[in-house]
A = this chain, B = another copy of it.
Amino acid sequence: MIMDKLSRAAQSKGPVCVGLDTRYDYLPAYIKDSSKSLCDRLFEFNKAIIDATHDVSACFKVQIACYEALGLEGLAAFAKTVQYARSKQSIVISDVKRGDISSTATQYAQGHFTGDFETDLITVNAYMGEDAVSPYYPYLEKEKGMFVLIKTSNPSSGDFQDIDVGGAALYEKVASEVSKWGERFIGETGFSAIGAVVGCTYPSELTRIHSLMKNTFFLIPGYGAQGGTGKEIGQFFHDGICGVVNSSRGLITAHKGKTESDDFSEYVRAACIAMKEDIEKWL
């Protein structure tokens, strides 16, 4: 089961998830100035980061929006990035947040669990209910997994997720349901192949959600640029919450203002190690 593999990777290599939310601006000049295609320039940046951080991170999260923004060349870079990271035995989360009716979700499952974009885990939006999630189930038996959005890290996440639904917030109701859906897919480490996304920008909510989702491994965005701190994360882990903590901008722009050369990935690696230590010192 993929969540066994991911939780073990987090244990052995630390809980950092490197977010490859790559934008053209982030590329150092030596890559921007090369004569390669846009796809190859984006990939060269990501490849250097993967090479520099795969031994000090649990996994990579690749945000597809950054590649969709650049059209077909961007998506070719997305495919190459996911394929390369997996070829290095790293675990990859494709952050796609897809959510659609059953027949359509079946297509997304095919798209992201097979073929050009084949990944290990995807993020999923469950607003449409269980039949928007169940088409992914057949893949959970085949070393694939997903993270369902529960309480997201953004400032407006409360608009709907925090609404009172009879003594509980909507996100709590979603947490309980998703936890039930995941019971069929629990691996040997005790985690379900259906994980949950909860932003560390909402610490008390994460604690509450954990109490409703005991067999759940978390994908925790919001560290760094969005405001989450190592102390808070350390406290979560101390309280028995298990998961990986994503940082994107905070890591992959660590070289900005420092170098425009091919030593850039050393700064990214240093930032990754600093983040790992910032969390681990509280354990």
Q: Nearest B residue to A123 by beta-carbon distance?
A: B100
Q: Would you call A28 an interface residue if the criterion is a C-beta within 8 Å of the partner chain's C-beta atoms?
A: no
Complex Cα–Cα for A116 and B70 (A): 8
Most chain B CB within a 10 A radius of its CB, from A98, A99, A127:
A127
Q: Select from chain B the residue with minimum beta-carbon distance to A68.
A: B111
Closest to A73 in B: B116
By a CB distance below 8 angstroms, the chain B residues around A97 are: 98-100, 125
The complex is assembled from copies of this chain, and their number is: 2
Task: Judge whether A274 is part of the interface by a CB distance below 8 angstroms.
Answer: no
- B160 & A174 in contact (Cβ 8 Å cutoff): yes
A104 to B97, CA, bound (A): 11
- Contacting A127 at CB < 8 Å: which of B69, B98, B105, B160? B160
Q: Is the CB of B132 within 8 A of A65?
A: no
Q: Is the pair A112, B68 in contact by a Cβ cutoff of 8 Å? A: yes
- Say if the beta carbon of A154 comes within 8 Å of chain B: yes
* Residues from chain B with Cβ under 8 Å of A159 in the complex: 126, 128-130, 177
Interface size for chain A: under 10, 10 to 19, 20 to 34, or 35 or more residues?
A: 35 or more
A66 within 8 A of B: yes
**A131 at the A/B interface (Cβ < 8 Å)?**
yes
Given contacts A66-B104, A71-B115, A128-B156, 14 further A-B pairs with CB under 8 A are: A23-B107, A65-B100, A75-B75, A97-B99, A101-B152, A101-B154, A125-B127, A126-B159, A127-B149, A127-B160, A128-B149, A128-B157, A128-B159, A130-B159
| Contacts from A to B (Cβ < 8 Å) | 21, 23, 63, 65-66, 68-72, 74-76, 79, 97-105, 107-108, 110-112, 115-117, 125-132, 149, 152-161, 163-166, 170, 173-174, 177
Provide 5 A-B residue pairs closer than 8 Å at the C-beta atoms, listed in order of the A residue: A65-B107, A75-B75, A130-B156, A132-B156, A160-B174
